[in-house]
């Protein structure tokens, strides 16, 4: 990579500065400022801090006693489990299946991936109509099957699960494509050798495919877990403000609510810090689990 | 392909499962488009039938165009998202080129800053960004252009890391001999970038541009913070307001969803190669 062209460092700044100026101003600085803000007293969005909180860490004390935040954290943990099992799990199964067929792989890839390019807001409205009480797609379908009476899918008994299904559904294709790419990188001869040794189809999957795919699966799980922390659009459109009865809070939606609806801007900043910490901790845990679990 | 004996029952089962999942992704969209051509009472009575004969109506679309500022929302979205895509591609391209080809101190550090940039969720930056844009009089004004710019700026920064990670990957794989040849012909570093590197990595630049565009077009959270006035709304923000405005007008909602989704689906079908590659390349390499 050593070349005489690129010895002149004069140009270097012109190349690098614009991009990093953007990131410094709109990413790194706000990130640090947000941590600072979480110790300040800020009464409205866009206002400056009015000095330190008393005591300075009071927002973090407040978190411990906040019932809604506890719901949000609990729901987010469930969301993580759902994304691991539902998104990555289904994606692994689908990817292994597509890897085993001769025709149509490309078609399935196109079809599975496309919910991801659609705005989650539009999907939220769509699922609102699908789960409409009087009478959306699901209730009409169940009626056709002979069920009498309508189910309110958005009541407090169903809300959580109805919120998570669309989120899960939307991103299966994403992990599917990552996994398919991983599968294509496994050398063909390994399967041939195994076939000569008389390995069954299942044994080939169990002893060749899955172990070689482990790093890719690990990447997917990390992405799924951190992705679960970033979910906002779909839940906010389907169940705004934690409806019904504050059952559907997620860390992201609760953070937005604190900033916008209750004007608790510094508390909202503290929740954002919590989201970042959770992201780092969970991805560390996932990496550790995958490193230690030997096949 | 793989050397496999045909086991027909097993294969049949696989196709059934795969087709089932394909159905879950296609049918809901099909259903919503179908129902956007029906009146509300028809949607509630028989939503599974095709909108033929008496059932067919365009009134939902008529209402959508009359009552919602769909065209101005489209325009706002296009302005924001095109700006984001262009600026991201240009600046990330230049930065990636420098990161790959030049040797300098702090290079490792700068690259890890890029990776770190991918980890910051938008939640953790939006409040200070809002205040900053407010102080600069970019956000929270009645000036349409300034408001659109206020959405574009943080989105550009948010896409930069991803773009740099993807583009450095591709620029690394270019043979340096071509650039050396251009240098001997008397090209400057800028000319080398625009006349050699960019043309050779065009597909990956396209990937990054499309991805940034879509991400910006679909992003509701930033728009919720920064677009306050109705006439400034971009398309996702408009959709979000729809539930509050016309919550029970189901035909109109279906039409609005169709109007937002169909352009994206068309773009996706034409450009899917680049889109799929881009969305996963950033993830795997990061």
Query: What is the domain partition of chain B in residue ranges?
Result: 8-62, 68-285
> Which CATH class name applies to B68-285?
mainly alpha
Number of neighbouring beta carbons within 10 Å of residue A106 = 10
Question: Which residues of chain A does B26 touch, with a Cβ-Cβ cutoff of 8 Å?
Answer: 111
Question: Is B280 in contact with A280 (Cβ distance < 8 A)?
Answer: no
Is the pLDDT score of B150 beyond 70? yes
Q: Following DSSP, what letter does each residue of B134-198 receive, concatenated?
A: HHTTSSSSS-HHHHHHHHHHHHHHHHHHHHHHHHHHHHHTS-HHHHHHHHHTT--HHHHIIIIIH
Question: Is A46 in contact with B131 (Cβ distance < 8 A)?
Answer: yes
Which has the closest alpha carbon to B174: A1, A4, A3?
A1
Question: Which residues of chain A does B265 touch, with a Cβ-Cβ cutoff of 8 Å?
Answer: 114, 117-118
Residue A135 C-alpha, separation from nearest chain B C-alpha, in angstroms: 5
* DSSP letter assigned to residue A198: T
Helix (H) or strand (E) holding A201: helix A201-204
What six digits make up the tokens of B40?
């509300």
Task: Locate all alpha helices (DSSP H) within chain B, ordered by sequence.
Answer: 8-35, 40-45, 59-67, 70-101, 107-119, 123-135, 144-172, 176-184, 189-192, 198-200, 202-218, 220-226, 235-246, 250-285
In this predicted structure, what is the pLDDT of residue A240?
Answer: 87
Is the pLDDT score of B16 beyond 50? yes
Helix (H, G, I), strand (E, B) or coil at A58: helix
Question: Which residues of chain B does A231 touch, with a Cβ-Cβ cutoff of 8 Å?
Answer: none
Name residues whose C-beta falls within 8 Å of residue A183's C-beta, 6 or more positions apart in sequence: A95, A96, A99, A209, A213
Which has the closest alpha carbon to B12: A101, A216, A44?
A101
Nearest CB among A1, A9, A122 relative to B260 is that of: A122
Cis check for the bond before A244: say yes or no (omega within 30 of 0): yes
Report the C-alpha dihedral over residues A22, A26, A29, A32, rounded to 10 degrees. -140
Is the pLDDT score of B129 beyond 80? yes
Quote the CA–CA distance of A27 and B119 in Å, as a whole number: 10
Number of neighbouring beta carbons within 10 Å of residue A237 = 25
Q: Please indicate if any CB of chain A lies within 8 Å of the CB of B174.
A: no
Q: Following DSSP, what letter does each residue of A113-168 receive, concatenated?
A: HGGGGS-HHHHHHHHHHHT-TTT-HHHHHHHHTT--S---TTSTTTHHHHHHHHHH
Q: Following DSSP, what letter does each residue of B53-66 receive, concatenated?
A: GGG---HHHHHHHH
Residue A40 C-alpha, separation from nearest chain B C-alpha, in angstroms: 12
In this predicted structure, what is the pLDDT of residue A176?
Answer: 92
Nearest CB among A104, A137, A237 relative to B31 is that of: A137
Nearest CB among B121, B260, B265 relative to A229 is that of: B121
Residue A135: exposed, middle, or buried by beta-carbon count in 10 A (0-12, 13-18, 19+)? middle
In this predicted structure, what is the pLDDT of residue A3?
Answer: 57
In this predicted structure, what is the pLDDT of residue A1?
Answer: 43
* DSSP letter assigned to residue A239: S
Question: Is A29 in contact with B21 (Cβ distance < 8 A)?
Answer: no
Q: To probe the interface with B, which of A19, A124, A249 has the most B CB atoms within 10 Å?
A: A19
CA B285 from centroid of its chain's CA atoms: 19
Number of neighbouring beta carbons within 10 Å of residue A278 = 20
- The residue with tokens 């503290």 is A270
User: How many Cα atoms occupy the beta-carbon half-sphere of B98 within 13 Å?
Assistant: 27
Mean pLDDT computed over B48-77: 84
Question: Which residues of chain B does A125 touch, with a Cβ-Cβ cutoff of 8 Å?
Answer: 239, 242-243, 253, 256-257
Residue burial A56-78, b: 16+ Cβ < 10 Å; e: rest? eebbbeebeebeebebbbebbee
Q: To probe the interface with A, which of B34, B87, B109, B125 has the most A CB atoms within 10 Å?
A: B125
Q: pLDDT exceeding 90 applies to what percent of chain B?
A: 25
Nearest CB among B94, B180, B272 relative to A15 is that of: B94
- Interface confidence: ipTM more than 0.90: no
Residue B153: exposed, middle, or buried by beta-carbon count in 10 A (0-12, 13-18, 19+)? buried
Residue A157 C-alpha, separation from nearest chain B C-alpha, in angstroms: 22
Question: Is B18 in contact with A6 (Cβ distance < 8 A)?
Answer: no
Q: Please indicate if any CB of chain A lies within 8 Å of the CB of B257.
A: yes
- Cβ atoms A275, A227 nearer than 8 A: no
The residue ranges of chain A whose pLDDT is under 70 are 1-5, 7, 293-295
Quote the CA–CA distance of A69 and A61 in Å, as a whole number: 12
- Cβ atoms A109, B272 nearer than 8 A: no
CA-based nearest residue in chain B for residue A95: B18
Question: Is B92 in contact with A34 (Cβ distance < 8 A)?
Answer: no
Domains in chain A: boundaries: 52-292
Rg of the Cα trace of chain B? 24
Question: Is B124 in contact with A34 (Cβ distance < 8 A)?
Answer: yes
Report the C-alpha dihedral over residues B137, B139, B143, B148, rounded to 10 degrees. 130
List residues bridging with A40 in a β-sheet: A52
- Cβ atoms B1, A102 nearer than 8 A: yes
Name residues whose C-beta falls within 8 Å of residue A228's C-beta, 6 or more positions apart in sequence: A76, A79, A80, A82, A83
- The residue with tokens 């800053």 is B113
The domain covering A52-292 belongs, at the CATH homologous superfamily level, to: MetI-like (1.10.3720.10)
Which has the closest alpha carbon to A122: B62, B33, B45, B38?
B33
In this predicted structure, what is the pLDDT of residue A167?
Answer: 93
Question: Is A118 in contact with B243 (Cβ distance < 8 A)?
Answer: no
Residue pairs spanning A and B at CB distance below 8 A: 304
- Terminus-to-terminus CA distance in chain B, angstroms? 29
What six digits make up the tokens of A133?
């009480």
- The residue with tokens 């189809």 is A201
């Amino acid at each position: 990579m050593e070349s005489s062209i690129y010895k002149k460092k004069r140009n270097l700044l012109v190349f690098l500065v614009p991009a990093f100026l953007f990131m410094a101003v709109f990413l790194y600085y706000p990130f640090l400022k947000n941590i600072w803000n979480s110790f300040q007293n800020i009464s409205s969005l866009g206002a400056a801090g009015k000095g330190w909180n008393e005591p300075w860490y009071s927002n973090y004390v407040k978190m411990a006693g906040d019932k809604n935040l506890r719901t949000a954290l609990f729901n987010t943990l469930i969301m993580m489990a759902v994304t691991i099992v539902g998104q990555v799990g289904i994606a692994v199964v689908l990817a292994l299946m597509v890897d085993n067929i001769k025709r149509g792989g490309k078609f399935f890839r196109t079809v599975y991936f496309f919910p991801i390019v659609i705005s989650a807001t539009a999907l939220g409205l769509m699922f609102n109509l699908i789960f409409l009480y009087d009478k959306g797609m699901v209730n009409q379908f169940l009626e056709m099957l002979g069920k009498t009476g309508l189910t309110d899918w958005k009541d407090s008994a169903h809300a959580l699960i109805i919120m998570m299904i669309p989120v899960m559904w939307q991103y299966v294709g994403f992990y599917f494509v990552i996994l398919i790419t991983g599968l294509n990188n496994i050398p063909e001869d390994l399967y041939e050798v195994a076939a000569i040794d008389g390995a069954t189809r299942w044994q080939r999957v169990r002893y060749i495919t899955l172990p070689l795919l482990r790093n890719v699966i690990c990447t997917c799980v990390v992405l799924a877990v951190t992705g679960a922390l970033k979910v906002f659009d779909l839940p906010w459109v389907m169940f705004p403000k934690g409806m019904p009865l504050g059952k559907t809070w997620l860390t992201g939606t609760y953070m937005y609510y604190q900033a916008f609806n209750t004007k608790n801007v510094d508390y909202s900043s503290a929740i954002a810090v919590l989201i970042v910490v959770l992201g780092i901790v969970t991805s560390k845990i996932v990496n550790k689990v995958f490193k230690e679990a030997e096949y | 392909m793989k050397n496999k004996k045909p086991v027909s029952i097993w294969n049949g089962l696989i196709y059934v499962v795969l087709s089932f999942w394909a159905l879950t992704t296609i049918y809901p969209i099909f259903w919503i488009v179908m129902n956007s051509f029906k009146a509300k009472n028809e949607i509630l009575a028989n939503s599974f039938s095709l909108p033929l004969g008496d059932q067919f109506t365009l009134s939902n679309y008529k209402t959508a165009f009359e009552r919602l500022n769909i065209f101005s929302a489209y325009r706002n979205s296009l302005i924001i998202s095109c700006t984001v895509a262009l600026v991201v591609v240009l600046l990330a391209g230049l930065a990636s080129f420098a990161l790959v080809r030049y040797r300098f101190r702090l290079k490792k550090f700068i690259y890890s800053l890029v990776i770190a940039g991918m980890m910051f969720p938008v939640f953790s930056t939006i409040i200070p960004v809002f205040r900053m844009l407010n102080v600069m009089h970019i956000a929270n004004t009645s000036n349409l252009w300034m408001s659109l710019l206020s959405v574009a700026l943080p989105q550009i920064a948010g896409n930069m890391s991803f773009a740099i990670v993807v583009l450095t990957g591709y620029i690394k794989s270019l043979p340096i001999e071509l650039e050396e040849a251009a240098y001997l012909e008397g090209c400057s570093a800028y000319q080398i970038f625009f006349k050699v590197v960019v043309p050779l990595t065009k597909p990956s630049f396209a990937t990054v541009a499309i991805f940034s565009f879509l991400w910006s077009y679909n992003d509701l959270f930033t728009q919720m913070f920064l677009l306050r006035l109705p006439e400034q709304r971009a398309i996702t923000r408009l959709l979000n307001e729809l539930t509050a405005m016309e919550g029970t007008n189901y035909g109109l909602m279906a039409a609005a969803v169709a109007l937002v989704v169909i352009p994206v689906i068309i773009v996706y079908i034409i450009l899917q190669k680049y889109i799929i590659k881009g969305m996963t390349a950033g993830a795997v390499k990061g």
